[in-house]
Amino acid sequence: MTRTITALFDHRADAEAAEQRLQAANIDADHIRIQDKSSTGYNETGHSTHDEPGLWGSIKNAFLPDEDRHTYEEGVRRGGVLLTVDVDEDHVDDAVRVLEEAETVDIDDRSQQWRSSGWTGSPAVGAMSAGYTDKDRPDTASATATGAVGNRDEEVIPVVEEQLVVGKREVDRGGVRVRSYVTETPVHEQIRLRNERVNVERRPVDREVSETDAFRERTIDMTATGEEAVVGKTAHVVEEVVVSKTADERVEQIDDTVRRTDVEVDRDAGSEAARGSTFGTRTDR
């Protein structure tokens, strides 16, 4: 059994990216459709009806209430892009999870914004779905089949069921900015330096001349040395500041209500054609 998932995007590139995500996830999905103002059935001013389905004409299982269907149409009318995909029942959760990671529009929030700016939503309809007229309604609460086989008059009551589409969006939770800069700090150090001096003095003596003191020429060289301070700098990494972020996931419980059209059949005892009639929701297998 298949179900149809509907999502709205602000840009066609986002919708195409979501389509690629669905295909890359190996989800059992087919009939992925991306529709915008250029698509067949787009109506600039009116709303889709039972007789004129508009954009929904090519979507086999788009059993959306009129209000929701017209809201998506308004999104397309305002430049949005509509994506629908038929997904096997066992892969619905996976498909929704993939679309949650795309830039989907929160259709409820967006419709509230439109209403606050003057949009009135879908046109008022009666108990029957849009597109039905008085002549289309059966005289009683249930439709009764009459006439011979092969020449049957019938009335159709669509069984509509809402589907809950849950999306997500990123919000700013705060952050941190780390900046590095250079400062200078005065440093005072002491060092002991050694200096040499050459002294020449004359001392009076009175002794006999020795062989070493005999007349001869001599030259004595003596060099004085000194120390001076030499300043050098070396850089060492003494600490590291690491900026990182972590992510965790949580499961949020979404509680809401969805609507469904239920059909109650009251059989007329005098109508043999109504006996054995059954009503249900049509699904693809």
What residue segments make up the domains of the chain, in order of their start? 2-171+245-274
Q: Which two tokens stand for residue 277?
A: 């009639």
Give the C-alpha separation, 97 to 5, whole Å: 12
Decide: 34 and 113 in contact? Cβ < 8 Å: no
CA angle 279, 280, 282 (to 5 degrees): 130
Tell me which residue has tokens 């986002």: 14
Give the C-alpha separation, 259 to 262, whole Å: 9
Instruction: Give the pLDDT of the chain (285 residues) as one tens digit per residue.
Output: 778 888 899 999 998 888 888 888 877 666 788 888 888 878 777 777 777 777 777 676 666 777 888 888 888 889 999 988 888 888 888 888 888 888 888 888 988 999 898 888 755 443 333 333 333 333 322 222 222 233 345 677 788 888 888 888 888 888 888 888 888 889 888 989 899 898 888 889 887 777 776 677 778 888 989 889 888 888 889 899 898 888 888 888 888 888 888 888 877 765 444 344 333 433 444
